A = this chain, B = another copy of it.
Amino acid sequence: MYVTLPADADAKNTNKHGFEKGCGVDLSRSARSYVYHEGDEVTHLYQVQSGIVRLSRVLRDGRRQIIAFGFPGDIVGFPSRDLHHTDCEALTETRLRPIKRAFLDNQNLNPDLNAALLHAAMDEISAMQDHFMMLGCKSALEKVASFLTILMDRQPASGDQGTMVDLPMSRTDIGDFLGLSMETVSRSITQLRKAGLIRMSSAHSIEVLATDRLRDAADGTMSAKAA
C-alpha cells in the first residue's frame, strides 16, 4: 500500500490532515506477529508509523501471493464487504496507528481524515497497477530490478550515487511478491551484482552502485555488461 500521505517514519509531526482526531494510541507489533487475518471483520484501518508489514493472501493449496509491503506512511486494511481480504503481518518491529473504521464510512466524523483515506485508496490503486506491469509483463531480472528501484525510491535515500537499500523481507517474500521462486530471485540478484549494478554487504543490505542502469534493467533496456 504505497501511500505517502500525512505520516512520517519517526513519530513526530504526524498530525496533519486531522489524523489525531480519528486515532487511538499507537500499537506495537513484534516481528512475525499478525495485525489481522483474511476474513477478519474490519474494525480499524492502520497507518504504518515505523517498521514494515506484509499483506498477503493464500490459495487453498498453499500458494501465496504478497499483495503489498506496507511502509511507514502507508495505510492498510481497506475492507471489502466489511472483511479483511488479506493477512497482514509485521515483518519487523512495527508501530501502527489505528483508525476507526467509522471514519471511512462516515464523512461527518472527520472530513479531512475521510478525504485522506480516499486519497490513500487511490494511491494504492495506482501502486497496484505498477505491480501488475511487473507481474504480467516483465522477466525475472526486470522484476527484481524493478523491485529494488521501488524500495530505493521509497526509502530515505542517503546519497545519489551509492544508495543503500534495506531488504527486511526474505527471498521467498520477494519471490511471492514478484511471482517468482526464491531461487530465481537469488539468481537475479546475483546477476545484478556480477553486472556491477549493485553491491551487497549482507543478504539484506544492498548498495545500488548505478541507479540509472538499474532503472534501465527494470525496463528491459539492459545495457549488456558483465563484471
Contact = CB atoms under 8 A, between A and B. Distances in A.
A161 interface: no
A117 interface: yes
A179 interface: yes
A226 interface: no
A219 interface: yes
B133 A80 contact: no
Greatest chain B CB density within 10 A among A122, A179, A219 is at A122
- Chain B CB count within 10 A is highest, among A81, A114, A115, A132, for A132
A125 to B, nearest CB: 6
B135 A132 contact: yes
A132 to B, nearest CB: 5
A12 interface: no
Nearest to A112: B107
Contacts of A105: 115
Given A111-B107, A179-B137, A67 B117 contact: no
B123 A80 contact: yes
A63 interface: yes
Given A115-B107, A118-B117, A219-B60, A78 B125 contact: yes
B59 A137 contact: yes
15 contacts: A60-B221, A61-B220, A63-B138, A63-B220, A65-B136, A79-B122, A107-B115, A114-B118, A117-B118, A118-B118, A121-B125, A125-B125, A132-B132, A136-B176, A136-B179
